[in-house]
Amino acid sequence: MDGFPHDLLHQARQLGSATLHEAGGKMGALPSAIKPLRNDWRIAAPVFTVVGPPRDNLWLHRAIYAAPKGAVLLHECGADAEAGYWGGIMANAARECGLAGFVTEGGVRDSEELRTLDWPVFSAGVCIRGTTKRADGAGSVGRSALIGDILVHTGDLLVADADGVVVLARADAVRVVAAGLQRERDELEIVARLKQGARTIDVYKLPATN
C-alpha cells in the first residue's frame, strides 16, 4: 500500500474532518457516534481495513501485524458497539508496530489507560463486555469495510478529530485537500468581513424573512 506525501497528510490533519467533508461535496462522513477518547487527538493517514464478526476481535489481532507502518486501522464489526473490541494491550502492540491509530464502529475498553497513550483511538463508545476469538469467524484484512453507508477501501485517506471521521477516496484526496485549503482561505475572508460589520445573511445571499 503506497502512502501519501507528508505535506498532504499535514495539510489534511490541519484542515480537519468537517472542512474536508464539505470540500469533498459532503461525502465520506462516518457515523457521528464515532469520536475520539481524547478531543485533542487527530489522525490523517492511509486506511488499512479490518472486518470481523460482532463481539469477536481475532481479526483485529491479525490486522495489527498485517497493516503497514503509518496506516490507521479501520474496523467494521456489524455496527455492534456493545463489546470492548480494543483495549490497552492491543493499542500498545499497534503503537509498537508504528500504526497511526485505531477507528472502530464498535466499542473499546481500558479507556483511562488508552487516554494516557499518545496514540489516537476513535470508537462509537466505551464498553466492558468481552469478545471472543473464533478461529472460524468470517472476516478480512486489507480489503474494504462498510462503516455506516460509507464503503472504505484500504489505501483511502482517513481524517479524524474531535468533530468526527471522514474518508476520502484515494483518487480524490489531492483534489479534496486543495479544495479544503481554498475553503479555509474563503472562510478567513468571511470572518474578516463579519468583523467589519457584514451580516451572514448578506455574505451567503440568504433569503430575508417575509
Domain ranges of the chain: 6-190
- pTM passes above 0.75: yes
Tens of pLDDT along 88-115? 999 999 999 999 999 999 999 999 999 9
pLDDT of residue 208: 82
Residue 91 and residue 111 in contact, taking contact as beta carbons nearer than 8 Å: no
CA distance 94 to 17: 23
pLDDT of residue 8: 98
CA distance 83 to 81: 6
For the residues 43-53, what does the mean pLDDT come to?
98
- Computed over every residue of the chain, the mean pLDDT equals 97
Bridge partners (DSSP) listed for residue 10: none
Taking the CA atoms of residue 125, residue 129, residue 131 and residue 132 in that order, the dihedral angle to the nearest 10 degrees is -160
Bridge partners (DSSP) listed for residue 146: 151
The owner of cell 477507528 is 103
Picking from 66, 60, 78, the residue whose alpha carbon sits closest to that of residue 124 is 78
Is pLDDT above 80 for 210?
no
Residue 49 and residue 130 in contact, taking contact as beta carbons nearer than 8 Å: no
Classify domain 6-190 at the CATH class level.
Answer: alpha beta
